[in-house]
Each structure stands twice: as C-alpha cells, then as structure tokens.
C-alpha cells in the first residue's frame, strides 16, 4: 500500500494490492494518527458515486490492485499542522480497514508509516562529525610525532594534546550512538539523528562485507535463516514506538506531500495469497538490534563487522606510518635531513605503538559492548572465540600499562617523595604519557577510573539490552558518578580542559535524564517524547559544533603556547645548563633567581629542594650523575653555604664561599 496526501490539492491518493478468497462488498475506513493523536478519520463506500473505486466494488476473488483519490474536506485538512510537512521523521501512521457491508466484520487491515521525505539521518552530518574527529586526530598525531622528534633530538618528549583530544571527540560521538542503542521508545526524529554517529562505533553499511560475514558464520555454526543480510533486505523493521522502516523507503515526495507505505497486510483472514502477491516479512526490533539492523547490519554480524572495520583502520595507520618512514629515509638519502625529524626515524615503532594504544583506549568501551553482545546474541562459535580473544587482549594491554605506571609511580614516590618523574623523566613520559598527559601531577591515576567507566558503560548497555528502565537508570548512575569525580578533582592541567570535560560530562548526564522520558514503563506521551528528542538534538548538536571550534582554537594554541608539563621540564633543563657554567667566585645571579619560576608550580616541590641533596638518591640515568654536573658531590664544599635554589626569599642572600687554600686557615 502507498498513501499520498497532497496538501495543495487537499486530496489523498492511495494504491492498494492484495488477495481475497471470495468476492466481497466492503466499506473502507481511513485513519491517520500523529504523535499518538487521531487527526483524521473517514469511512466511505467504494461503490458510492462520489467515492467510487472500481477495483474495490466489490473486492474480487483472487489477487487485486486498487488505486483511488479521495478529497479531504477543509475542516479535516486544517487539522494537519504545517509542521507535518517540514519536521523530519514525523511520528504518524495511516491505517486503511476494509469491513464487509452486511456484517461489519473486518476482513483487511493495512497500516503504514507517514513520512514527508525529510529525515535527520543526513550523510553530511556523518562526514562533518568524522572530519571533526579526524582534525582532532591530526592535532594529536602532530603531538605524537613531536614526542618522537624530541626524543631523538635529546629533548624532553612531546607536549600533551589540548582538549578536546581525538579520544574525547570519538568517545563523545560514541556516546550519542550508544544513546540510540538503548532499549527505549526513541521518537523517530532522535533515533534517526543518532544514526549519523554510527561510524564512531564501527558500524558501517557495506553489503559485500556482510555477505562475506554471512558465509563465515554459515561455515562456523551460524544460522542464516532469519539473520542474514539477504533476509534483512526483504524485511520490514517494526520499532518499539510503532514506526517502521521498509527496504524500499525513499524520500520521493515534495514538501507539500505526505507519504505512507505498508507495514502490515492481511486480507479476509487468510494467508492463501497467490504467487503474484509478495509476502510481507515483519521484524520487531529494539535496542542494539534495532540500531544495527536499521543500518543493514544483521545483529549476529555486528561484532565481526566492527572487527573488520577496526582491522582496516589499524592497517591504514600502519601503512601511513611506514609510508612516512620511507619518505623520510628517501629524503635523507638525497637531501639534507632536518634535525627535528631525526627522532621519528629512530622511534617510529614507538610512535606506531602509541597510536595503537590510543586506538585501544578510544575503542575499549564499545569493544566491551560488542563482545558481550556477541556472547549473548551471536551464533557462530568462531565469532565468539574472536570476541573473547580480542577482549582479553584489549583488557590485558590496559591492565599491563596500568600496572607498569602504578609500579613506576610507587617507586618514584618511595625514592623522591612524589611522582614528578612520571612527567619529568623522558623515558616515563614517552612510554606512558598517553594515559595521563592531560592530568595534573597529583591526579595521574585518573586514567584508571576512566577505563572502568568505559567498561561499565559497555557492560550495562549490552547486558541490559531489552530492559530499558534498568539500563537507563544504571547508565544515569555511571554518568553521574563520573561527573561527581570531575567536579571533585578537577584533574586536568589546563583550566580550559576542566571546563570542557565537566561540561561534556554534564551534557551526558542530561542526555540520559532525557532518555528516561523514552522509557516505555513510564507511559509518557508521544508528544512529550518528541519534544524531548528535539531538545536532545539541539543540545548535542550545539556541543558538537563547540567541540569542532575548540579543536581549531587548540590547534593554534598548541603552536603558540607550550604545554605546562613540557614548559617546566624545559626551564629545569635551562637551569641545569646555567648551573653548569658557574664557578665558586662567579655565582652571578643564581642565588637570586625568581621564586615564581614555573618549575616550582608542582605542589610537592615546595616541600623540598628542587635538586636533591644526596647523590645516592639520583638515578643512574639522571643528569645529576653526569661528569659535567657535579652538583651534589663537591669535595671542596664550595657551595655548601649557599642558599637553596628554591628556598624562601629571606634565605636567598649571597654568602662568601668557605674556601680553604690548604694553609690550615679558611678565608
């Protein structure tokens, strides 16, 4: 069935096809419901002169096809609001019921979704969102290359990326997509909006890939009867709110028309249709299944789809890094090679490892989600085995680095009294900084709650699939706890990063609160749900645009302003070089240094001398043990009486060094 309402001509045109076991005289009733409210209802006799429809007068035995046009009285046409022709993804249903004239028994019922051809699923939005994430990745990639370059040039490591980072952007997009996966009655306008961000979770429509996955499943114990791309292409999806999506739904109608397409058809209470009538396959979907199948990905193919997409991304990263390596080597053979790129030539494997680790961090939450979903809904033993192996690898890698960082921090704490070495020691910075580079020194450990947060979100969404209320409440608790942690700790080094991340987390909490409105058990009206969906779209769109602007601003800031951690290390190195040139009788101004130097901005450094007083406390790799830096082993005690470098202002008065010329008397 196809029904079209022309607002200019005030007419309804419909096409109806079906089959009947016998010839029947019928009366037809047309009902239109919008946002749960009946806006139009009309009963007519197809044999009357004013409403004559030849093919239904009477309904013939066997197959039939009928079409006709009905004029809509002005009083009914005025009931259809103007926004119905402009608001995308309107929630409206048209129903045609055929009843026998003599007994009034219902013999046929056809329902159809109504659409005006507009939708919030816009490819341009996906491209823009991907571009935003890509821009953040480029800025972060420059930082990673800078780290490698600095390492090779003898520097102190690369500067930390400014917020929003690639991971923060990608996790934000994943959050919007995961909102669309929850088992609630999303209004169509919001459900379609979340489809724009499916790419961030690895769900990409690719028919050839789906056929290959179907073949893999079939060979490893999978059942393709009702869960394959072929089945899905012929099925009509019925969502929790009653809206549908048919395989051939298209936007073919002008702004002045509303279109309805069939979702349910039964004629004369029988299924004995002839071969010329195509059977309608209905698939009731909700939660994760609804989200992925609307993107033409069968639910049993979900994990394998994400696995292959991520494999393609990893291959792309490896090829890009190796290609850049080849370019640099070729450059070095035929031209003068810039010293700033020497580090990358020596550390490109380390750079590649950092990129892989950052990808694992960014994908960990949705990886937990898809692996658990595969365990509970998959049918291929091989796919389940791959899910278990990859989840174990991802979790194992993160646990390993968490343990290594904890061990390094514990060792530094015992030896030096604080964990400044995680930021100041180049080796630690290059190995582990991607976990804590944006955090203050005292909150280096915050990456652990972040990993737990991502794991919990994925578990709740996958394990709670089909239980909307419990799923939403659990998500709200998780988001609220993370917001409370950020408000309490304010852990980011830059004040702007604290503001951005607290605001983003606040929007996440607000989003889950709004999703509570969609929970079926609460019985909230469709109109309220639709308004809430529009509000959600507005809030999330504004925040996405803000993140895009901030990425551009931060790209400029990263060029003209040095990262605080790197600035401190640079100043410390400069201080060390200056001290190296001093003599006992030429201390110059070293004892009167500005107490506001940023090397003292670490809180723990106020409690002790910046330079340790004992040679035994320095590591073998420390600059303090180099022959050219005998700061803590002066045999003549030439600087023993001098004030400490980071002492108070009152103690910073120059004193004459105690010099012994070997005549038994000090001068």
Q: List the chain domain ranges.
A: 2-116+241-284, 123-219+290-306+339-564
pLDDT at residue 629 greater than cutoff 60 = no
Confidence of residue 351 (pLDDT cuts 50, 70, 90): confident
Return the pLDDT at 324. 84
What's the average model confidence in pLDDT over 118-146?
78
Between 32 and 342, name the one with better pLDDT.
Answer: 32
Return the pLDDT at 77. 66
The number of C-alpha atoms within 13 Å of 27 and in the hemisphere containing its C-beta is 13
All residues at 6 or more sequence positions from 81 whose CB lies less than 8 Å from its CB, including other chains: none
Q: Checking DSSP bridges between strand 235-238 and strand 244-245, what pairing results, if any?
A: antiparallel
What's the average model confidence in pLDDT over 256-282?
45
Confidence of residue 262 (pLDDT cuts 50, 70, 90): very low
Taking only the tens place, the pLDDT of each residue in 212-238 is 999 999 999 999 988 899 999 888 888
Burial class (CB in 10 A: 0-12, 13-18, 19+), 251: exposed
What's the average model confidence in pLDDT over 662-667?
50
Return the pLDDT at 145. 56
Most confident range, picked from 57-71, 102-116, 225-239:
225-239
Average pLDDT, the chain: 77
Confidence of residue 475 (pLDDT cuts 50, 70, 90): very high
pLDDT at residue 268 greater than cutoff 50 = no
Task: Quote the percentage of the chain above a pLDDT of 70.
Answer: 70
Phi and psi, residue 484, nearest 5°: -60, -40
Range from 43-47, 87-91, 332-336, 575-579 carrying the lowest mean pLDDT:
575-579
Return the pLDDT at 563. 54
pLDDT at residue 147 greater than cutoff 60 = no
CA dist., res. 628 & res. 345, Å (int) = 29
Q: How many CB atoms lie within 10 A of CB 257?
A: 18
CA dist., res. 428 & res. 435, Å (int) = 11
What's the average model confidence in pLDDT over 340-363?
81
Task: Quote the percentage of the chain above a pLDDT of 90.
Answer: 32
Whole-Å CA distances, 579 to 190, 252, 370, 492, 591: 63, 77, 57, 32, 10
Most confident range, picked from 2-6, 482-486, 563-567:
482-486
Return the pLDDT at 98. 83
What's the average model confidence in pLDDT over 519-536?
89
Q: Checking DSSP bridges between strand 257-267 and strand 2-6, what pairing results, if any?
A: antiparallel
Residue 136 near residue 165 (C-beta atoms within 8 A): yes
Between 305 and 525, name the one with better pLDDT.
Answer: 305
Range from 406-415, 483-492, 618-627 carrying the lowest mean pLDDT:
618-627
Return the pLDDT at 464. 93
Confidence of residue 112 (pLDDT cuts 50, 70, 90): confident
Return the pLDDT at 519. 92
Range from 405-419, 608-622, 629-643 carrying the lowest mean pLDDT:
608-622
pLDDT at residue 140 greater than cutoff 90 = no
Burial class (CB in 10 A: 0-12, 13-18, 19+), 197: buried
Q: Which residue has the tokens 């979903």?
A: 373
All residues at 6 or more sequence positions from 656 whose CB lies less than 8 Å from its CB, including other chains: 641
pLDDT at residue 295 greater than cutoff 80 = yes
Return the pLDDT at 117. 75
Nearest to 304 by CA among 384, 360, 393, 358: 384
Taking only the tens place, the pLDDT of each residue in 407-452 is 999 999 999 888 888 888 888 888 888 899 889 989 999 999 999 9
Confidence of residue 305 (pLDDT cuts 50, 70, 90): very high
The number of C-alpha atoms within 13 Å of 371 and in the hemisphere containing its C-beta is 21
Confidence of residue 577 (pLDDT cuts 50, 70, 90): low
What pTM was computed for the model? 0.76
Return the pLDDT at 254. 36
Q: Which two tokens stand for residue 297?
A: 């990905």
CATH code, 2-116+241-284:
2.60.40
pLDDT at residue 142 greater than cutoff 70 = no
């Amino acid at each position: 069935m196809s029904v079209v309402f022309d607002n200019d001509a005030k007419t309804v045109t419909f096409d109806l096809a079906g089959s009947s076991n016998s010839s029947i005289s019928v009366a037809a009733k047309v009902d239109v419901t919008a946002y749960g409210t009946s806006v139009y209802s009309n009963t007519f006799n197809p044999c009357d002169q004013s409403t004559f429809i030849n093919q239904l007068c009477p309904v013939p035995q066997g197959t039939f096809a009928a079409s006709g046009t009905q004029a809509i009285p002005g009083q009914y046409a005025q009931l259809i609001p103007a926004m119905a022709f402009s608001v995308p993804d309107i929630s409206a249903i048209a129903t045609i019921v055929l009843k026998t004239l003599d007994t009034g028994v219902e013999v046929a019922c056809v329902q159809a979704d109504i659409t005006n051809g507009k939708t919030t699923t816009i490819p341009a939005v996906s491209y823009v969102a991907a571009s935003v994430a890509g821009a953040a990745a480029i800025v972060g990639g420059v930082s990673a290359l800078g780290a490698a370059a600095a390492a090779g040039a003898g520097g102190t490591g690369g500067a930390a990326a400014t917020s929003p980072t690639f991971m923060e952007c990608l996790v934000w997009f994943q959050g919007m997509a995961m909102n669309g996966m929850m088992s609630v009655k999303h209004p169509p306008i919001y459900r379609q909006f979340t489809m724009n961000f499916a790419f961030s979770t690895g769900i990409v429509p690719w028919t050839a890939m789906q056929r290959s996955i179907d073949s893999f499943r079939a060979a490893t114990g999978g059942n393709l009867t009702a869960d394959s791309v072929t089945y899905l292409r012929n099925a009509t999806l019925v969502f929790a709110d009653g809206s549908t999506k048919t395989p051939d739904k298209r936007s073919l109608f002008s702004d002045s028309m509303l279109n309805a397409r069939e979702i349910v058809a039964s004629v004369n209470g029988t299924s004995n249709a002839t071969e010329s009538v195509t059977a309608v396959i209905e698939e009731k979907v909700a939660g994760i299944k609804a989200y992925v199948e609307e993107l033409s990905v069968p639910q049993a193919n979900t994990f394998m789809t994400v696995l292959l997409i991520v494999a393609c991304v990893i291959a792309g990263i490896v090829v890009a890094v190796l290609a850049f390596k080849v370019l640099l080597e070729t450059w070095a053979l035929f031209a003068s090679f810039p010293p700033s790129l020497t580090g990358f030539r020596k550390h490109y494997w380390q750079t590649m490892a950092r990129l892989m680790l950052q990808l694992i961090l960014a994908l960990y939450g949705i990886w937990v989600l898809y692996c658990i979903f595969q365990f509970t809904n998959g049918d291929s033993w091989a796919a389940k085995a791959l899910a278990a192996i990859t989840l174990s690898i991802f979790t194992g890698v993160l646990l390993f680095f968490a343990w290594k960082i904890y061990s390094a921090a514990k060792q530094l704490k015992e030896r030096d009294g604080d964990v400044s070495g995680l930021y100041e020691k180049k080796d630690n910075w290059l190995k582990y900084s991607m976990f804590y580079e944006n955090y203050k020194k005292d909150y280096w450990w915050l990456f652990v709650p972040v990993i737990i947060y991502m794991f919990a979100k994925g578990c709740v969404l996958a394990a709670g699939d089909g239980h909307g209320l419990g799923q939403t409440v659990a998500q709200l608790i998780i988001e609220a706890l993370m917001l409370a942690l950020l408000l309490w700790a304010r852990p980011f080094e830059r004040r702007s990063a604290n503001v951005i991340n607290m605001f983003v987390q606040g929007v996440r909490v607000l989003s889950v609160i709004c999703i509570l409105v969609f929970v079926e058990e609460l019985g909230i009206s469709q109109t309220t749900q639709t308004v809430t969906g529009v509000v959600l779209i507005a809030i999330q769109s504004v925040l996405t645009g803000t993140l895009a602007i901030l990425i551009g601003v931060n790209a400029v800031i990263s060029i003209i302003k040095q990262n605080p951690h790197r600035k401190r290390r640079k100043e410390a190195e400069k201080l060390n070089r200056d001290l190296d040139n001093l003599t006992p009788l030429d201390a110059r101004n070293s004892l009167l240094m500005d107490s506001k130097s940023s090397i003292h901005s670490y809180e723990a450094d106020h409690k002790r001398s910046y330079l340790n007083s004992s040679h035994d406390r320095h590591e073998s790799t420390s600059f303090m043990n180099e022959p050219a830096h005998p700061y803590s082993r002066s045999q003549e005690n030439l600087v023993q009486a001098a004030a400490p470098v980071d002492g108070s202002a009152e103690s910073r008065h120059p004193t004459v060094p105690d010099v012994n010329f070997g005549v038994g008397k000090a001068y």
